[in-house]
Chain A
Amino acid sequence: MSVVQRPKEAYLNVFAYRMAPKEEFFTRGHRACQGCGPALGLRHIMKAAGRDTIVVNATGCMEIISSPFPYTSWAVPWIHVAFENAAAVASGIDAAIKALQRKGRIPKKKTNILVIAGDGGTADIGLQALSGMLARGHNVTYLCYDNEAYMNTGVQGSSATPFGASTTTTPAGRVSFGAGYWKKNVAAIAAAHDIPYVATACPSYPLDLIRKVRRSFELEGPAYIHLFAVCPTGWGTPPELTVRMGRLAVETGIFPLYEVENGRYKLTVDFPQGLRPVEDYLKNQRRFRHLTPEIIQQIQERITAEYERLKMMEKVTQE
């Protein structure tokens, strides 16, 4: 294995990592694969959410790895619910806390309610419950960790699977080139509900992720955070490249990091010198290795157009 040198500017703010909170509310001993991206993201999220948090967890990888009876990795109140109703259960918890506070049964202090669901539980199965929760305006943060397929059951394609990716339900071969549809943009769907806070984040930028989760709890009303999480098992990447692949996805524009606060778009990690070609990101992964240059060109055009649209949205809404 060779060590890839990164430019010197990348290390300028490296000592800031020591400033992150030291407490862990998602403890070690969980059973995620080696180099798990969502488990890394959850750790940063729980650092930001802190002690007064109720976690509602839909079925998915993070539920399986953290709670094999009689063990639990959670040091906060935690409830496991089915794929489709995580947002509905969180709405109920929010309503119950409000009712109990009105009756004086529990002290009036802020309780963070956090939903953690995978991309299958958000983009496919739980979309209507999510939409209902956002429309009713419950004070809940919905966090979707997106590893771009149903990794827990063995890499079946979800509607968040990117174009051209080979999964067990969209296999690449002589007839097909993998997923023939584009990735569903759930962050844009959430932003269309006109909720106070929508953000996209990646565990490769931990301080950015911690700041976004804190901001989502500060604002009154529903919030949605889309977390891009690398899955070495399902994507066919080496486990030691997890953080690097997340960084490449952001640098190539495959997954731009932005936030929408009360309708104002803002790119939180921007590259004024231009984006890297998407091939840098695609060539390291087993699920994309069958792609021909024409399909890569098609992906490049789409990614560039989406990034330009995001820049335009930022320019229009910041004025």
Chain B
Amino acid sequence: MKLKERPTWKELPFACCIPEPGNSVYYKTGDWKTLKPVVDKTKCIKCGTCWIFCPEYAYEEDEYGYYESNYEYCKGCGICYRECPAQCITMEEEVVE
């Protein structure tokens, strides 16, 4: 059961329990950032360090085993840039058209 965006008091579940587990994925935190990480796949060694150290869990593995940041959730903290052992991640300014 998915809650409506702004439920009225009659539509709220009993005791304001949240019926859908993990529904914060609908809340996109990607617009918090000023710098975005860009992965250079020619230098990437597929170690997964960026994936395990990401506090937003934004890194996703693609079918070839590379990791890429999901900009809908990435808050731009730069931990992946600092921790990458191959130094293949650069922080670039996010430009909004």
Q: Residues on A close to B: CB < 8 A?
A: 1, 3, 6, 11, 14-15, 17-18, 20, 24-25, 27-32, 34-37, 39-40, 43-44, 66-67, 69-76, 206, 232, 238-244
On whether the beta carbons of A66 and B57 are closer than 8 Å, the reply is no
Give how many B residues have a beta carbon under 8 Å from the other chain's beta carbons.
Answer: 40
Decide yes or no: A69 and B47 within 8 Å by CB, A14-B85, A27-B25, A28-B57 being known contacts. no
Residues in B with CB closer than 8 Å to A238 are 78
How does the 8 Å CB contact mask read for B6-22 relative to A, with 1 for contact and 0 for none? 01000000001010111
Cβ-Cβ contact count across A and B, 8 Å cutoff: 116
Residues in B with CB closer than 8 Å to A69 are 16, 18
A258 to B51, CA, bound (A): 26
A242 to B18, CA, bound (A): 32
On whether the beta carbons of B55 and A36 are closer than 8 Å, the reply is yes
Residues in B with CB closer than 8 Å to A239 are 77-79
A181 to B54, CA, bound (A): 34
On whether the beta carbons of A29 and B29 are closer than 8 Å, the reply is yes
A15 to B57, CA, bound (A): 18
Decide yes or no: A28 and B58 within 8 Å by CB, A17-B49, A34-B32 being known contacts. yes
B22 CB contact (under 8 Å) in A14, A37, A75, A206: A75
Closest CB in chain A relative to B84 CB, distance in Å: 9
Closest CB in chain B relative to A277 CB, distance in Å: 22
Residues in B with CB closer than 8 Å to A29 are 24-29, 73
Decide yes or no: A35 and B27 within 8 Å by CB, A27-B22, A72-B18 being known contacts. no
A14 to B51, CA, bound (A): 12
On whether the beta carbons of B82 and A241 are closer than 8 Å, the reply is yes
A40 to B53, CA, bound (A): 7
Closest CB in chain A relative to B75 CB, distance in Å: 5
